[in-house]
Amino acid sequence: MNAPAAHLFQPRALPAAMLDELKTRFGERCSTAMAVRLQHGRDESPIDAPPPEVVVFCESNADVVAVVALADQHAVPVIPYGAGSSLEGHLLAVQGGVSLDVSRMNKIISVQPEDLTVTVQAGVTRMQLNNEIRHTGLFFPIDPGADASLGGMSATRASGTNAVRYGTMRENVLGLTVVTAQGQLIHTGTRARKSSAGYDLTRLMVGSEGTLGVMTEITLKLYPQPEAVSAATCTFPSIDAAVRTTIQLIQMGIPIARCELLDAHAVRAVNRHDKLALTEAPMLLMEFHGSAASVKEQAESVQEIATEWGGQGFLWATTPEDRTKLWAARHRAYFAGLQLKPGCRSVTTDTCVPISHLAEAVTIASEEAEAAGLTHYIVGHVGDGNFHIAYLIDPNIPAERELAERLNLQLVERALKMGGTCSGEHGIGLHKMGFLVTEAGEGAVAMMRSVKQALDPKNIMNPGKIFTA
Amino acid sequence: MNAPAAHLFQPRALPAAMLDELKTRFGERCSTAMAVRLQHGRDESPIDAPPPEVVVFCESNADVVAVVALADQHAVPVIPYGAGSSLEGHLLAVQGGVSLDVSRMNKIISVQPEDLTVTVQAGVTRMQLNNEIRHTGLFFPIDPGADASLGGMSATRASGTNAVRYGTMRENVLGLTVVTAQGQLIHTGTRARKSSAGYDLTRLMVGSEGTLGVMTEITLKLYPQPEAVSAATCTFPSIDAAVRTTIQLIQMGIPIARCELLDAHAVRAVNRHDKLALTEAPMLLMEFHGSAASVKEQAESVQEIATEWGGQGFLWATTPEDRTKLWAARHRAYFAGLQLKPGCRSVTTDTCVPISHLAEAVTIASEEAEAAGLTHYIVGHVGDGNFHIAYLIDPNIPAERELAERLNLQLVERALKMGGTCSGEHGIGLHKMGFLVTEAGEGAVAMMRSVKQALDPKNIMNPGKIFTA
C-alpha cells in the first residue's frame, strides 16, 4: 500500500458533551473555526484528509492532561500537533477527533551547560533552541529540513545533516515527560548519559509518532560548539562518484560532521531559489568540526579521496556567514525544489541502506526517475546511507501520483533487499504502513500492535498511523 | 528494597511432561544434574537462590523456539543464560523453570566490513568477536569487565570503558533476532545506521533483561581500528581532583576514547593481582583514538587540564603490549578487588549522574565507605558519569551485607536527587527493583509492566526480575 486507501478514513463522532467541556476549560484556546481546523488537518505530505473536529491550544502539562483525560473518557482521537512539518501524513485526522496543538508550549525549561543537557517544552523548535542557548557555547545538532518542533522531531525519530557525527533523536533524547493515553503524567529517563534502569521507555516513545502518548517535555543532549568549523562543496562527474567518496570516508572512520549529496536538479533548485551560482552537477556539501588542526587534517583527507573519484572545484566556506548561507540553502532545498514545478506537491522517499549499497541505490533511483520523465530532485544525508528523492507531482493528475508511488515502491523494495529501511527519518505515518510490514515482518508488527494495544487500549492516540487499527 | 526478600522466591513446578519432551528433543543437551543446575543458578551477584529445575543447551534458533514454545504451553519460566557474568541476580531461578543456555550459539553469522556491521549469535563473547574480526581492521568497542556474551550485554544494556566515545549497547545494536514469549521468531531493526520505521523494538529488547523474549542473533555496529592509539595513567592528590579533570575535558568536548577512575584501593588490588607497580593513589587511566596528530593534540590538552588539578606522574603506554597490559589489569579489577578480602562477595553499586555532580557523588561515596570501615574499592567510567563502588562483604556476616546495602541505598538516593540513575550499565535484576520505582515513578513502572504483560502474558520470560509479578 503506497497511498492511503479510503478504508483508512474512519471518522468517529466527537460527542457534544466533550466539546462543551473543552470550550468551558479552554475558551478561545479551543477552536472549531474551519480555517484553524484546515490548517491543522494537513502537513507536508501529498495526502488530503478531512480536518480534525476541533483544535485545542495547550499551554501546560495540565492542559494536555485535561484534553487527553477527556478524550479517554469519550474515546475520541487525539493528534499531537507541533509545527505541522511532518511528511508522511502523521497529522491527518483520519479518524476525526482533537488536534492537540503544543506550539505554545515553547519554553526552555532549564539548561545545564555544565552537564551538556537541556529540558524543553515540546513546542520549542530546533532553531529557537539553538538561538536561546547560543550564549552557553553549546548547540543541539539535529536539524531536519523544516524548523520542526522538538516534540515532532522526537515523535518521528528525526535526524538531518549532522546525524553522521552526532546521531539522531534516538541517540540525543535523554528523557521525556509524557501524558499517557489515560491522561497520566509520567517521566522517562534521567539526565544521566546512560542508564540500564528498566525498559527503555524513552526510546519506545521516540519514533512512536504520537500513537502511544503525548510528549510534553524533552531532555536533550547538547554539544560544545566546535573550536573550528569548515565547510566545503565539491562537484563530481556522477552521483556514483560523489557517493563512492562518501562511502570511502565513512569506511575510513573520518569523523566528518556533515556529508550531504545534492544532485544536479537539487543544485539548480537551490541556485534559483537562493540566487547562488553553484555548478549544476552532483555535489557533496561537507562540514568538519574539531580543533583547528583536526579540521584541517580531516579536510585534507577528504579532498584527497574526492579527487581520486574525480571531484573538483573544491570551494571552502571559511567565514561563518558563508557557511550559514550554504547550509541555509541546503535546508531550504525542500521548498526550493517545490518551485521546480509550480503548484506541485512532493512525494518524498526516505530509504536508508547499509553504506556499501548506497551508490547503487541512489544511482538506480536517479536513473529510474529520469527514465520516467517525472520532475524530481535528490538530496541525501549520504554519510548515514540515507537519501530522499522528491517526485514533484501535479495534484490534479492522478497518473503522476501513481507513477511517483510506483517509483517509490521499486526504490523501497530495493532498499529492503539491500538490508535497509523504508524510512530513515520521516516515519511511517499513513504513507508507509505496507512497507513497514514488508520490512519488519508480520511478527514484529504484531509485537508493535501489542504494545500499542497495551498502552492505548481505546486507540485514541493518533489512531490509524503506523498500522491500521 | 535492596536485598531480595523471601517473597521473591516463588518456584513453580516443572511438569514431568515438559521435562520428558525436553529430554526427548535435546538428549544430553538437557541436564538435570545438580552441578550443572547450580552452575546456572547463580551469577556474580551476592544473592543465593534455588537452582533452575533443568538446563537446556541450545545450538540454534530452532532449539530456542522449541524450548520457549514448550515453556509457553506449560507456563514454565525460561531464563536465558549466556556467560553467567551478570551482577544483579538476573540469572537466578527465583521462580524455578528452565535455564536456556545460549553459550553454544557462538558463531559469527556474517561480517560486512564495508558496512561496518556484523551479525553474531547471542552466545558469542565480546573478546571472541574482536579476535575473529581483527583481520578486517574493525573492532567492537563495548567492553564490560567480564568477557560477557553479546546476548547478555544486549539484555543488560551494558557499556564499559569505551562508552564515553562509542556509546553503549543501546547505541550499537542495530537489529535483533528474538524468540518471543510465544515461541515465535521475529526480527527487529535492519543493517541501516538509522531508521524511523515503527516502534523501536530493538531498543525495547536491549536492556529488557530477558523478560520480553530471548535474543538469539544480534547485528552490531563496528568501528575502524583507530590509526593511532595512546594510553596514559595519571595520579591525583584526591578523587575529587581526578574527577574534576574528567568533568572539564568532557565539558570541553575532547573526544577521549576511555577515561577510567581507580581509587587507591583499586590500584592496590590491581598492583597485587597483576604484579604492577602503579602509584597507589587516585588514578585516571585514559586512552586516545584518532589520527597521530589528533591523538597527540588530545593528549596534550588533557595533560594540561590534569596538571591544573594537581595530576602528576603522567605515564604513557606507547606500545600495544604496554597498553594491553594496562587495560587487561583494569578489566581484571573486579576479580583483583575480590582478593582484597579472601572469601568475600561483592555488593557493587552502579549509579550514573550528570557529569557536573560526579565529583561530589564519588567523593561522598568514598568517604562514607571509609567511615563505615567496610573493605571496598572504586572504579568508574567517569567520562560517562558512571562509577562503581564494590563493598566486599563476608557472606557469613549478615551485618556486613546490611551495611553494604545501607551504603548503597544512601548512594542511590543521592544519585537520583542529582538527576541520575540507579543503574548505569548493570541493570535492575533482583537487586534494584525498589530503586527503579523511586527513579522512574509508579506511572512509568506501570507502563513497563503493561508492556511486559502484553508481550509475555503468562509471565514466563525471566519472571521476577526488574519488577515483581
**Burial state string for A176-215 with b = 16 or more CB within 10 A and e = fewer than 16:** bbbbbbbbbbbbbbbbbbbbbbbbbbbbbbbbbbbbbbbb
H or E segment to which residue A127 belongs: helix A126-133
Phi-psi region of A84 (alpha: psi -120 to 50; beta: other; left: phi over 0): left
**CA A413 to each of CA A407, A417, A422, A434, A438: distance values in angstroms, whole numbers, following the listed order:** 10, 6, 8, 11, 9
If one compares A209 and B315, the residue with the highest pLDDT of the two is: A209
pLDDT of amino acid B410: 97
Q: Under a CB-based contact definition with an 8 Å cutoff, are residues A250 and A165 in contact? A: no
* pLDDT single digits (tens) A278-317: 999 999 999 999 999 999 999 999 999 999 999 998 888 8
pLDDT of amino acid A1: 34
Q: Which of A114, A187, A253 sits opposite B356 (nearest CB)?
A: A114
**ipTM, 2 dp:** 0.96
Q: How confident is the model at residue B47 (pLDDT cuts 50, 70, 90)?
A: confident
Return the SS3 of A368.
Answer: helix
DSSP A183: S
pTM for this one? 0.96
Beta bridge partners of A284: A234, A261
If one compares B457 and B318, the residue with the highest pLDDT of the two is: B457
pLDDT of amino acid B4: 52
The DSSP code sequence of B51-69 is PPSEEEE--SHHHHHHHHH
Could you report how far apart the first and last alpha carbons of chain B are, in Å? 15
Q: Which of B87, B186, B193, B426 should one mutate to test binding to chain A, selecting the residue with the greatest count of A CBs within 10 A?
A: B193
The DSSP code sequence of A245-269 is HHHHHHHTT---SEEEEE-HHHHHH
Q: Which of B194, B412, B422 should one mutate to test binding to chain A, selecting the residue with the greatest count of A CBs within 10 A?
A: B194
Share of chain B above pLDDT 70, in %: 98
Nearest CA-CA partner of A460 in A77, A55, A121, A6: A77
If one compares A46 and B6, the residue with the highest pLDDT of the two is: A46
Written as nine digits, the cell of A170 is 534516538
* pLDDT single digits (tens) B73-90: 999 999 999 999 999 999
If one compares B12 and A55, the residue with the highest pLDDT of the two is: A55
B372: CB partners within 8 A, 6+ apart: B403, B407
Distance CA B116, CA B140 (A): 10
Written as nine digits, the cell of B313 is 606522574
pLDDT of amino acid A111: 98
Q: Which of B171, B194, B355 sits opposite A115 (nearest CB)?
A: B355
- In whole numbers, what is the pLDDT of chain B averaged over residues? 95
Q: Which residues of A touch B114 (CB under 8 A)?
A: 247, 251, 355-356
What radius of gyration, in Å, describes the C-alpha atoms of chain B? 22
Helix axes A61-74 and A16-26, enclosed angle (nearest 10): 170
Give the sign of the dihedral formed by CA A89, CA A90, CA A96, CA A101.
negative
Once rounded to an integer, what is the mean pLDDT over residues B171-198? 98
pLDDT of amino acid B138: 97
pLDDT of amino acid B5: 60
Q: Which long-range contacts (CB under 8 A, 24 or more apart) does A34-39 make?
A: A37/A99, A39/A84
Angle at B212 (CA atoms; ends B206, B217), nearest 5 degrees: 55
Does B469 have pLDDT greater than 80?
no
A402: CB partners within 8 A, 6+ apart: none
Q: Under a CB-based contact definition with an 8 Å cutoff, are residues B449 and B66 in contact? A: no
Q: Which residues of B touch A187 (CB under 8 A)?
A: 440-441, 443-444
Going residue by residue through chain A, which has 469 residues, state the pLDDT in tens, using 9 for 90 and above. Answer: 344 556 778 888 899 999 999 999 999 999 999 999 999 999 988 888 899 999 999 999 999 999 999 999 999 999 999 999 999 999 999 999 999 999 999 999 999 999 999 999 999 999 999 999 999 999 999 999 899 999 999 999 999 999 999 999 999 999 999 999 999 999 999 999 999 999 999 999 999 999 999 999 999 999 999 999 999 999 999 999 999 999 999 999 999 999 999 999 999 999 999 999 999 999 999 999 999 999 999 999 999 999 999 999 888 887 889 898 889 888 888 889 999 999 999 999 999 999 999 999 999 999 999 999 999 999 999 999 999 999 999 999 999 999 999 999 999 999 999 999 999 999 999 989 999 999 999 999 999 999 999 999 999 999 999 998 6
**CA A216 to each of CA A43, A87, A150, A152, B103: distance values in angstroms, whole numbers, following the listed order:** 20, 21, 10, 10, 43
Distance CA A197, CA B104 (A): 29
Once rounded to an integer, what is the mean pLDDT over residues B111-129? 97
What class is the B228-417 domain?
alpha beta
Search chain B and give the residue with CA nearest A427: B196
A441: CB partners within 8 A, 6+ apart: B186, B187
Does B33 have pLDDT greater than 70?
yes
Q: What type of residue sits at position B145?
A: G
Q: What type of residue sits at position A98?
A: V
Q: How confident is the model at residue B104 (pLDDT cuts 50, 70, 90)?
A: very high
Cβ separation B207–A198 shorter than 8 A: yes
Domain with CATH 3.40.462.10 in chain A: 228-417
Share of chain B above pLDDT 90, in %: 89
Q: Under a CB-based contact definition with an 8 Å cutoff, are residues B393 and B404 in contact? A: yes
Cβ separation A255–B250 shorter than 8 A: no
Distance CA A287, CA A153 (A): 22
Q: Which of B167, B354, B386 sits opposite A115 (nearest CB)?
A: B354
Per CATH, which fold does B108-224 belong to? Answer: 3.30.465
Q: Which residues of B touch A426 (CB under 8 A)?
A: 196
Once rounded to an integer, what is the mean pLDDT over residues B426-443? 96
Count of all residues that appear for chain A in the document: 469
Q: Which of A252, A385, A440 sits opposite B192 (nearest CB)?
A: A385
pLDDT of amino acid B1: 34
Q: Which of B115, B156, B385 sits opposite A355 (nearest CB)?
A: B115
Nearest CA-CA partner of A286 in A250, A259, A317, A255: A259
Cβ separation B428–A186 shorter than 8 A: no
Q: Which residues of B touch A193 (CB under 8 A)?
A: 352, 354-355, 384-386
Domain with CATH 3.30.465.10 in chain B: 108-224
Once rounded to an integer, what is the mean pLDDT over residues B191-209? 98
pLDDT of amino acid B2: 40
Distance CA B288, CA B355 (A): 20
Could you report how far apart the first and last alpha carbons of chain A are, in Å? 15
Cβ separation A355–B193 shorter than 8 A: yes
DSSP A302: H
Q: Which residues of A touch B163 (CB under 8 A)?
A: 194
Q: Which of A65, A142, A157, A195 should one mutate to test binding to chain B, selecting the residue with the greatest count of B CBs within 10 A?
A: A195
pLDDT of amino acid B9: 81
Total CB pairs under 8 A between chain A and B? 286
The DSSP code sequence of A28-89 is GGEE--HHHHHHHT--SSS---PPPSEEEE--SHHHHHHHHHHHHHHT--EEEESSS--SSS
